[in-house]
Amino acid sequence: MNPRVTQVECHSDHSMILTFDNGEKRQFDVRPYLDYPVFQVLRDMPYFLRGQAHHGTVTWPHEEDFCPDTLYLESRVLEREKSAA
């Protein structure tokens, strides 16, 4: 099982900065998904910015969400938690 989302910051370029329960921060680009019918509502920026971390993924008020594995596997690493030496 891949790590799960604990925090999300939605940005006006349709990207999200995600913090995962393994300490990683990763960036996920939502733009490739905006043509899918379920995600077309996320084109509306004020609505997109309402995304919240919930039960390990990101959700919006009308129950749109991403598979947590997609968020992890399709995002790029920004930083990893520094391990104790």
30: CATH = 3.30.2020.10
Q: Which residue has the tokens 């030496």?
A: 85
Q: What is the dihedral of CA 41, 44, 49, 51, to 10 degrees?
A: 0
Residue 47 CA to residue 30 CA, distance in Å, equals: 13
Asked if residue 9 belongs to a domain, the reply is yes
Asked if residue 68 belongs to a domain, the reply is yes
Asked if residue 85 belongs to a domain, the reply is no
Asked if residue 84 belongs to a domain, the reply is no
Range of the domain at 27: 5-78
pLDDT in tens, the chain (85 residues): 899 999 999 999 999 999 999 999 999 999 999 999 999 999 999 999 999 999 999 999 999 999 999 999 999 999 776 554 4
Task: Provide the number of structural domains found in the chain.
Answer: 1
Asked if residue 18 belongs to a domain, the reply is yes
- The answer to whether the CB of 46 falls within 8 A of the CB of 32 is no
Residues pairing with 79 in the sheet: 25
